[in-house]
């Protein structure tokens, strides 16, 4: 772990809805180092996808960026203009999404869609771009890439569509690849193949991977460092072993207790009482306090800050000493 | 021994007709192709497989929600495939089902009270007061309360919706409940709540479950027996303990290799890599259906379909090479996760 590749500073994003402002990301700061795999974990609605979308500025129109900065190699992505950003998107920062069915355009051939990326970013002819695309399709494990590049997305299986997305996003050898639940829609055997492919590409190109998932199995298998999000906040950041062996935040500890594989069969799992709060009107103080078993009066009043409890291990909890 | 078996399924087949166009030859999707097993009262059978393995079709066929093509389903001593309408109604009363997506399995125009009242109206002679009492009691059993009675499904969270679906399945005190991926669409913390609820209900009412899932670790957590399916066939079937401690079919072992295990220490364990994707059930491979993806396949696997044979007590495996293969190198690292 060496140089900082991406730095998010005190980011606040909200969605304008008819019922008010949903504060999906509320003061998140984090650092991602070059060529590491960083995992964002959290449950539905905790803001992990919003945070990921904000990096290449792909947020939907009803999202409002309230404040904060995102530095990519020292450049503030939130301040540069659309032209400069276009040079970075797809070339330096690439993104793959959960549902490969909806990420591909159904009316264009696979080869065309993949070739568009190098054709946009490099001064090469369309023929060369197509050749690059076919080569890349072969690289991600599409059989007969030459033939298959003339197929339309609907004839591809889910796994092959996700491979196509990966091919598209890696033709330019980006430095940062953001993968938002890339395997959730796939079968376990295909999931293992895709994770392996990502791992190989990462080693070959020296990619930095920002992986978003809710599956602790995937976290353990592929990540170097983990950030746990809850209700729009980052509550814990640590190396993957630390997260599993020595979680310091009650929420992380609770989540890990929920994972079935870590419990004896037919016994009750530890469960976190209640449900995540609405982000329209989140609880005061620590957002986890209504579900937490360590709550003290201080948790109701004061919001805990992310502090470093030991080297590289950050926790936002007033009572971490009692939890750990 | 026979008395304790609540459900016996013999050579069950379900083929779906499929025509590419009006004039083309009728083809068959062999979704479930000769499946036999039995479930003892009060136990859970975990049915594991990837999409297209026929596990959902199996669940629906057992409850006769779709008609089987052939085979026998003996539930509590009578053959479900031969029931007349009146008997079928009685059978419906003693079975329940919970689906994967709770939102699409609850009628959006009905309140929770109406959803839970339906089965009581159809199957019992209770008056309105008795019905309401039962509904509230069941709601409390699944961790909801009377305040949810007048809510519509969209006003509930995913976990609460699934609780309503479970309440609907158990309100008539059925003997058998088919759970078709009941936790896959839920978040981890909610998943744990629902799994705990299902285990509690089983202990309390001596329910028998058929738990359909693609997640081996969840199956391990809730099941007494595990049945692994691949393209409409059973490839391995035994007690959960045996399947996890001593898996004998290459497909089962490759599933163990594929599942991400939540322990960073096992990151670099030895694995069998599964190549390719599952073939279409419309045109399954000749011989052993797994042979194109199996690293151990030989000539015989391409030609002859292996039978499901009893290897040792209650351990069934369908593989030609079952006696030659040794998977210990893949399993040793994982032993802490695979045994209880």
DSSP string, A140-199: TT-SSHHHHTTS-GGGS-HHHHHHHHHHHHHTT--SEEEEESTTTTS-HHHHHHHHHHHH
Q: What is the pLDDT of residue B1?
A: 43
What is the average pLDDT across B125-130?
92
The nearest CA of chain A is from the CA of B84 a distance in Å of 38
Give yes or no for a contact between B199 and B183, defined as CB atoms under 8 angstroms apart. no
Q: Is a pLDDT exceeding 80 seen at residue A104?
A: yes
Mean residue pLDDT of chain A comes to: 92
Contact across the interface for B192 and A241, Cβ inside 8 Å: no
The nearest CA of chain A is from the CA of B333 a distance in Å of 14
Phi and psi for A100 in degrees, rounded to 5?
-65, -20
Q: What is the pLDDT of residue A176?
A: 95
pLDDT digits (tens, 9 = 90+) for A230-256: 999 999 999 999 999 999 999 999 998
Does A166 fall in a domain? Answer: yes
Note whether A298 contacts B: Cβ–Cβ < 8 A: no
Neighbours of A310 (CB within 10 A): 12
Rg of chain A (C-alpha set): 21
Q: Is a pLDDT exceeding 50 seen at residue A295?
A: yes
Contact across the interface for A187 and B257, Cβ inside 8 Å: no
Cβ neighbours of residue B330 closer than 8 Å, sequence gap 6 or more: B253, B256, B257, B269, B270, B271, B272
Q: In chain A, which residue's Cα lies nearest the Cα of B339?
A: A264
The nearest CA of chain B is from the CA of A224 a distance in Å of 9
- Quote the DSSP letter at residue A89: B
Comparing CA positions, the residue from A159, A139, A140, A138 lying closest to residue A148 is: A138
Number of domains, chain A: 1
Contact across the interface for A192 and B261, Cβ inside 8 Å: no
∠A234-A255-A13 over CA atoms, to 5°? Answer: 25
pLDDT digits (tens, 9 = 90+) for A301-324: 999 999 999 889 999 999 988 887
The nearest CA of chain A is from the CA of B276 a distance in Å of 8
Contact across the interface for A188 and B258, Cβ inside 8 Å: yes
Comparing CA positions, the residue from A301, A316, A144, A291 lying closest to residue A237 is: A316
A95-116 exposure pattern, b = at least 16 Cβ within 10 A, e = fewer? bbbbbbeebbeeeebbbbbbbb
Q: What is the pLDDT of residue B339?
A: 66
From CA B56, how far away is CA B76, in angstroms rounded? 22
The pTM (predicted TM-score) of the whole model is 0.90
Query: Token pair of B232, please?
Result: 């409409």
Does A257 fall in a domain? Answer: no
Task: Give the pLDDT band of residue B3 (cuts 50, 70, 90).
Answer: low
Q: Indicate the SS3 state at residue B315.
A: strand
Rg of chain B (C-alpha set): 21
From CA B338, how far away is CA B328, in angstroms rounded? 12
Note whether A271 contacts B: Cβ–Cβ < 8 A: yes
Does A155 fall in a domain? Answer: yes
Contact across the interface for B262 and A263, Cβ inside 8 Å: no
The nearest CA of chain A is from the CA of B60 a distance in Å of 21
**Crossing angle between the packed helical segments B158-170 and B128-141, to the nearest 10 degrees:** 130
Contact across the interface for B50 and A256, Cβ inside 8 Å: no
Structural domains in chain B plus CATH codes: 2-94+172-338 (3.40.50.300)
Tell me the chain A residues in contact with residue B337 when contact means C-beta distances shorter than 8 Å. 261
Does A126 fall in a domain? Answer: yes
- Name the residue facing B50 among A188, A263, A266 (closest C-beta): A188
Does A228 fall in a domain? Answer: no
Neighbours of B125 (CB within 10 A): 7
Query: Is the torsion defined by CA of A119, A125, A129, A132 positive or negative?
Result: negative
We report the CATH number of the domain holding residue A113 as 3.40.50.300
pLDDT digits (tens, 9 = 90+) for B199-216: 999 999 999 999 999 988
How many inter-chain contacts (A to B, CB under 8 Å) are there? 126
Task: Give the pLDDT band of residue B277 (cuts 50, 70, 90).
Answer: confident
Measured in residues, chain B has a length of: 340
Tell me the chain A residues in contact with residue B255 when contact means C-beta distances shorter than 8 Å. 188-189
Sheet holding B5-18, edge to edge: B27-40, B5-18, B70-75, B78-79
Tell me the chain B residues in contact with residue A261 when contact means C-beta distances shorter than 8 Å. 217, 220-221, 261-263, 337
Q: Indicate the SS3 state at residue B31.
A: strand
Contact across the interface for B258 and A268, Cβ inside 8 Å: no
Does A62 fall in a domain? Answer: no
Comparing CA positions, the residue from B81, B33, B45 lying closest to residue B314 is: B45
Q: Indicate the SS3 state at residue B327.
A: coil
Q: In chain B, which residue's Cα lies nearest the Cα of A143?
A: B276
Neighbours of A200 (CB within 10 A): 13
Q: What is the pLDDT of residue A95?
A: 94
Residue from B43, B215, B262 to probe the interface with A (highest A Cβ count within 10 Å): B262
Note whether A263 contacts B: Cβ–Cβ < 8 A: yes
Residue from A257, A261, A273, A292 to probe the interface with B (highest B Cβ count within 10 Å): A261
Does A40 fall in a domain? Answer: no
Residue B276's H or E segment, with its range, is none
Percent of chain A predicted with pLDDT > 90: 78
What is the average pLDDT across B262-266?
86
Residue from A258, A272, A274, A290 to probe the interface with B (highest B Cβ count within 10 Å): A258
Cβ neighbours of residue A145 closer than 8 Å, sequence gap 6 or more: A134, A135, A137, A138
Which of A84-93, A141-150, A263-272 shows the lowest mean pLDDT across its residues? A263-272
Domain that holds residue A130: 90-199
What is the average pLDDT across A155-183?
93
Residue from B52, B103, B144, B187 to probe the interface with A (highest A Cβ count within 10 Å): B187
Q: What is the pLDDT of residue B195?
A: 94
Q: What is the pLDDT of residue B272?
A: 87
Tell me the chain B residues in contact with residue A157 when contact means C-beta distances shorter than 8 Å. 277
Q: What is the pLDDT of residue A262?
A: 67
Q: Is a pLDDT exceeding 60 seen at residue B303?
A: yes
Give yes or no for a contact between B162 and B102, defined as CB atoms under 8 angstroms apart. yes
Q: Is a pLDDT exceeding 70 seen at residue A137?
A: yes
Comparing CA positions, the residue from B209, B308, B282, B237 lying closest to residue B52 is: B282
Does A102 fall in a domain? Answer: yes
Residue from B55, B155, B188, B194 to probe the interface with A (highest A Cβ count within 10 Å): B188
Q: Is a pLDDT exceeding 70 seen at residue B112?
A: yes
Note whether A297 contacts B: Cβ–Cβ < 8 A: no
Reported ipTM exceeds the 0.95 cut: no
Contact across the interface for B192 and A218, Cβ inside 8 Å: no
The nearest CA of chain A is from the CA of B70 a distance in Å of 29
Phi and psi for A257 in degrees, rounded to 5?
-65, -25
Distances (CA, A) of A62 to A25, A56, A272: 14, 16, 32
Q: What is the pLDDT of residue B2?
A: 46
């Amino acid at each position: 772990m060496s140089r900082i590749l991406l730095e998010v500073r005190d980011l606040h994003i909200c969605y304008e809805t008819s019922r008010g402002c949903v504060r999906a990301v509320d003061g998140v700061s984090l650092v991602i180092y070059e060529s590491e795999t960083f995992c964002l974990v959290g449950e539905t609605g905790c803001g992990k996808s919003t945070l990921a979308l904000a990096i290449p500025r792909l947020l939907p129109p009803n999202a409002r960026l309230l404040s904060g900065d995102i530095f990519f190699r020292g450049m503030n992505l939130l301040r540069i203009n659309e032209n400069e950003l276009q040079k970075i998107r797809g070339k330096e920062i690439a993104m793959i999404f959960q549902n490969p069915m909806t990420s591909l355009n159904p009316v264009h051939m696979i080869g065309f869609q993949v070739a568009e990326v190098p054709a946009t970013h490099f001064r090469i002819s369309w023929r060369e771009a197509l050749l690059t695309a076919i080569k890349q399709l072969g690289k991600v494990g599409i059989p007969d890439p030459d033939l298959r590049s003339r197929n339309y997305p609907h004839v591809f299986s889910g796994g092959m569509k996700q491979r196509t997305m990966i091919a598209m996003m890696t033709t330019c050898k980006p430095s940062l690849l953001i993968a938002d639940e890339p395997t959730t829609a796939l079968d376990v055997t295909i999931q293992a193949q895709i994770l392996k492919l990502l791992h190989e590409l990462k080693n070959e190109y020296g990619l930095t991977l920002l992986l978003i998932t809710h599956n602790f199995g995937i976290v353990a298998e592929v990540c170097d460092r983990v950030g746990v999000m809850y209700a729009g906040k980052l509550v814990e950041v640590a190396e993957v072993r630390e997260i599993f062996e020595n979680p310091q935040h009650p929420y992380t500890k609770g989540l890990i207790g929920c994972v079935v594989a870590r419990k004896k069969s037919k016994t009750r799992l530890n469960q976190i009482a209640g449900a995540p709060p609405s982000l329209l009107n989140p609880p005061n103080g620590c957002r986890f306090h209504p579900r937490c078993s360590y709550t003290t009066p201080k948790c109701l009043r004061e919001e805990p800050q992310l502090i470093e409890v030991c080297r590289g291990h950050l926790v936002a909890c007033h009572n971490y000493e009692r939890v750990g | 021994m026979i008395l304790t078996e609540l459900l016996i399924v013999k050579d069950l087949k379900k083929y779906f007709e499929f025509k590419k166009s009006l004039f083309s030859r009728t083809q068959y999707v062999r979704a479930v192709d000769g499946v036999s097993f039995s479930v003892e009262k009060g136990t859970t059978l975990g049915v594991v497989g990837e999409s297209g393995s026929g596990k959902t079709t199996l669940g629906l066929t057992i409850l006769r929600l779709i008609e089987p093509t052939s085979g026998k389903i003996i539930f509590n001593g009578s053959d479900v495939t031969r029931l007349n309408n009146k008997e079928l109604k009685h059978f419906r009363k003693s079975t329940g089902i919970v689906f994967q997506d709770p939102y699409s399995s609850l009628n959006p125009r009905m309140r929770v009270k109406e959803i839970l009242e339906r089965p009581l109206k159809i199957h019992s002679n209770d008056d309105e007061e008795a019905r309401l009492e039962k509904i509230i009691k069941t709601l409390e059993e699944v961790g909801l309360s009377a305040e949810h009675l007048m809510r519509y499904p969209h006003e509930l969270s995913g976990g609460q919706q699934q609780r309503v679906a479970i309440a609907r399945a158990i309100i008539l005190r059925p003997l058998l409940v088919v759970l078709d991926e009941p936790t896959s669409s839920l978040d981890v913390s909610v998943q744990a709540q629902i799994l705990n609820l299902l285990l509690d209900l089983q202990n309390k009412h001596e329910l028998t479950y058929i738990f359909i899932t693609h997640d081996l670790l969840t199956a391990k957590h809730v099941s007494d027996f595990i049945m692994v399916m691949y393209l409409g066939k059973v490839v391995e079937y035994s007690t959960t303990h045996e399947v996890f401690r001593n898996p004998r079919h290459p497909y089962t072992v490759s599933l163990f290799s594929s599942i991400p295990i939540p322990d960073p220490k096992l990151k670099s364990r030895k694995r069998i890599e599964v190549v390719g994707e599952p073939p279409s059930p419309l045109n399954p491979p000749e011989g052993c259906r797994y042979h194109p993806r199996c690293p151990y396949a030989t000539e015989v696997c391409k030609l002859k379909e292996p039978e499901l044979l009893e290897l040792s007590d209650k351990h069934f495996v369908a593989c030609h090479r079952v006696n030659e293969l040794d998977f210990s190198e893949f399993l040793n690292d994982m032993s802490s996760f695979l045994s209880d």
